[in-house]
Structure 1
């Protein structure tokens, strides 16, 4: 089964379930996909977000950051200290 977000030419939006993508295409071509609100036959797929499968918690990796993260932070701290001590209007 597959669900599609659909919209008619009157901007009514609704979801509909189909056996497969091919089943939707067949029904749409035959003109039997109609808007449940106004009965319009001019129905097309609406923009929708893809459904993504979730990974189990034990497979989620957490980024540890850049390999040189501590060196970069230290460099930025030193740069900030230098700029704030030697520059005007900082």
Structure 2
């Protein structure tokens, strides 16, 4: 495993672990690596000092993090975009019944006319969502926001 210092197109710096340098390149080209602050997938390696060890074990005192650390803040564009996303999500969730894990079953019943038509939301695995789409059931994924479960 190797740790890389990374930089997104908006200037946020962060670190991530990869199996190898090639693994990072493959994932970055496939846009699988994203910035944890703004979700941008345009990510590149930042300049970093190599970690070199002498092979000898040495005793070191624990390092205490400074009281103030730099945090990447959202710029005005990010804040406006986040506000719009929050408003859309609120409208969706306020207008629909939360059926939780029963979503695939409920969506099929509504689609097949076994239940009255109404807006619903809930959870479905990737495979369940794919099956619903293949069956012609109209669904729209609403992914969770990065900090939704904090």
Query: Does the pair score TM above 0.5?
Result: yes
Which is greater in Rg? 1
TM-score by length of structure 1 reads 0.59
Q: Which residue number corresponds to residue 51 of structure 1? A: 51
Q: Which moved more, 1:5-14 or 1:48-57?
A: 48-57
State how many pairs are aligned: 57
Give per-residue Cα distances to partners, 1:32-62, cap 9 Å, x unaligned: 11000000011100010011012438xxxxx
Q: Work out whether 1:29 is the aligned partner of 2:29.
A: yes
Q: Which runs of 5+ in 1 are unaligned?
A: 58-90
Q: Which runs of 5+ in 2 are unaligned?
A: 58-150
Give secondary structure in 2 for the equivalent of 1:27: helix
Give me the whole-angstrom Cα distance separating, in 2, the residues matched to 1:56 and 1:26.
35
Give me the whole-angstrom Cα distance separating, in 1, the residues matched to 2:10 and 2:54.
35
TM-score by length of structure 2 reads 0.36
Give me the whole-angstrom Cα distance separating, in 1, the residues matched to 2:12 and 2:54.
31
Q: Work out whether 1:12 is the aligned partner of 2:36.
A: no
